[in-house]
């Protein structure tokens, strides 16, 4: 009887310890899951804050902060200098990701922030190039879109036909480019642009692996006219014209070529662009046969006003990114403000992507 009692106590103790071990294990798992979840949520919010901060970095690169130090009789030289200084700051980095590392000691946080600037004036304004009365695209743009092909996805002529049918059925302007993903055949095309990157293990450039054409990178609804700003063409528009698309390290590799082009360029550069192609070819490629047939749709004078910015924030492996459309606006002039300080940008559209 005593032996049975001791055996029962031993069995009960073992069962109790087993249950205690199971409960302890579950408690530890729950604590760890909550810890990792909370930690991940904190990192996500920090990354979102960095991504929002990246927009301000992009705006600071776009705003011309040249000081008004020249005499009144040097106004033309001043305008020329501002134009070239602006190109020097923006053109080499256009359509490319710019990333900056942050450290706890200097910046108060360990992470990365970055942005990629593209120009809406270098994209096709679909509301401007389609004639809703005639129910077709304007002649030059019809020819341009007719030759557009996406290998393995759309044959030449498919995009033109699908877009024309969609817009005729819609009978009014697009409110947002994302509406195009409803179109049969376009739903499998990337909506947002993926900038080229450098693979760390072999320091080679890597382009967008999915497609050279992205809907939001080819079309826009935000510009005031239909003309294209050649120097600021988007990656997808470059692909349509058969021109060289940007690589991640172009600003370094082609530093001298960018300098030569910017020194040569004037605000009405597009009027003689084919004749002076030797200045452009190192950056945009030797083949300009397609472009030669569409010179009439290029802006006559440099003056982009609308940009899109993909902004990145990263903490450890947690990354957040968003795309904003920025439109240049004039600030109300205050006393002692120079002309160059009046330019600013307004966010007219935002997407978390």
Note the pLDDT tens digit of each residue in 244-257: 999 999 999 999 99
DSSP helix/strand/coil, 133: coil
Q: What is the largest CA-CA distance in the chain?
A: 117
Using CA atoms, how far residue 189 sits from 212, 215, 216, 220, in Å, is 10, 7, 10, 16
Q: How confident is the model at residue 68 (pLDDT cuts 50, 70, 90)?
A: very low
The neighbour count for residue 97, using CB atoms within 10 Å, is 17
**Rounded to the nearest 5°, which phi and psi values hold at 342?**
-85, -15
| 78 confidence band (pLDDT: 50, 70, 90) | low
Highest-confidence segment of 23-37, 172-186, 297-311: 297-311
Structure tokens, 127 = 């509301």
Structure letter (DSSP) for residue 172: S
Higher pLDDT, 202 or 249: 249
What is the 3-class SS of 195-234, one letter each residue? CCEEECCCCEEECCCCCCCCHHHHEECCCCCCCECHHHCC
pLDDT given for residue 5 in this prediction: 67
In 91-125, which ranges are continuous DSSP H helix?
104-107
Closest to 280 in 3D by CA, of 256, 247, 258, 252: 258
73 HSE (CA, 13 A, CB side): 0
Cβ-based neighbour number of residue 252 at 10 Å: 8
> What are the pLDDT digits (tens) for 221-276?
999 999 999 999 999 999 999 999 999 999 999 999 999 999 999 999 998 999 99
pLDDT of residue 12: 74
Structure tokens at 342: 């009046």
In order, the DSSP letters of 66-103 are ----S-GGGHHHHHHHHHHHHHHHHGGGTTSEEEEEE-
DSSP 332: P
Rounded mean pLDDT, 146-151: 84
pLDDT of 168 over the 80 cut: yes
pLDDT band at 210 (very low <50, low <70, confident <90, very high): very low
Give dist(CA 221, CA 353) in Å, integer.
19
* Residues whose CB falls within 8 Å of the CB of residue 25, separated by 6 or more in sequence, listed in order: none
The rounded radius of gyration (Å) of the Cα atoms in the chain is 28
- Per-residue pLDDT at 70 exceeds 70: no
Quickly count: other Cβ atoms within 10 Å of residue 152's Cβ. Answer: 7
CA distances from 311 to 41, 77, 116, 182 (A): 19, 34, 7, 26
Mean pLDDT, residues 37-41: 79
Kindly give the pairing relationship between strand 124-125 and strand 130-131.
unpaired
Residue 331 has pLDDT above 60, yes or no: yes
In this prediction, residue 182 carries a pLDDT of: 87
Q: Identify the pLDDT of residue 156.
A: 87
Compute the average pLDDT of residues 340-346: 77
Q: Confidence class of residue 150 from pLDDT cuts 50, 70 and 90?
A: confident
**What value does the mean pLDDT of the chain take?**
86
Selection from 155, 150, 250, 156 nearest residue 210 by Cα: 150
Q: What is the helix (H) or strand (E) element at residue 309, kind and residue range? A: strand 306-315
Please tell me the pTM assigned to this model: 0.84
Q: DSSP letter for 244, please.
A: P
Contacts of 209 (CB under 8 A, 6+ apart): 194
Q: Report yes or no: 213 and 259 within 8 Å, Cβ to Cβ.
A: no
Q: How far is 251 from 247, CA to CA, in rounded Å?
A: 9
pLDDT in tens, 284-330: 999 888 898 899 999 999 999 999 999 999 999 999 999 999 999 98
Per-residue confidence (pLDDT) for residue 81, from 0 to 100: 82
The per-residue pLDDT for range 104-132, each reduced to its tens digit, is 999 899 999 999 999 999 999 999 999 99
* pLDDT of amino acid 208: 43
């Amino acid at each position: 009887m005593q032996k049975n009692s001791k055996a029962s106590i031993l069995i009960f103790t073992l069962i109790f310890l087993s249950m205690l071990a199971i409960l302890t294990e579950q408690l530890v798992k729950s604590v760890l899951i909550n810890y990792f979840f909370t930690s991940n949520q904190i990192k996500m919010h920090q990354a979102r804050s960095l991504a929002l901060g990246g927009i301000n970095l992009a705006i600071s690169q776009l705003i011309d902060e040249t000081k008004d130090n020249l005499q009144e009789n040097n106004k033309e030289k001043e305008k020329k200098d501002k134009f070239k200084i602006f190109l020097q700051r923006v053109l080499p980095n256009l359509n490319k990701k710019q990333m900056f590392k942050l450290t706890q000691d200097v910046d108060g946080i360990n992470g990365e922030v970055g942005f990629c600037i593209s120009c809406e004036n270098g994209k096709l304004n679909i509301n401007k190039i389609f004639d809703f009365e005639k129910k077709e695209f304007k002649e030059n743009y019809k020819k341009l879109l007719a030759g557009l092909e996406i290998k393995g996805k759309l044959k030449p002529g498919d995009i033109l036909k699908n877009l024309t049918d969609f817009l005729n059925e819609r009978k009014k302007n697009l409110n947002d480019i994302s509406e195009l993903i409803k179109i049969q055949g376009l739903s499998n095309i990337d909506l947002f642009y993926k900038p080229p990157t450098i693979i760390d293990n072999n320091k080679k450039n890597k382009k967008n692996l999915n497609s050279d054409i992205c809907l939001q990178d080819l079309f826009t609804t935000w510009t005031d006219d239909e003309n294209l700003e050649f120097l600021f063409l988007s990656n997808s528009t470059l692909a349509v014209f058969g021109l060289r698309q940007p690589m991640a390290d172009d600003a370094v590799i082609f530093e001298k070529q960018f300098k030569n082009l910017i020194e040569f360029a004037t605000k009405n550069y597009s009027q003689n662009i084919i004749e002076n192609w030797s200045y452009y070819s190192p950056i945009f490629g030797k083949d300009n046969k397609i472009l030669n047939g569409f010179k009439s749709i290029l802006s006559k004078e440099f003056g982009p006003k609308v940009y899109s910015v993909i902004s990145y924030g990263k903490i450890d492996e947690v990354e957040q990114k968003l795309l904003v459309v920025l439109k240049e606006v004039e600030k109300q002039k205050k006393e002692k403000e120079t002309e160059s300080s009046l330019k600013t940008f307004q966010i007219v559209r935002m997407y978390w992507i």
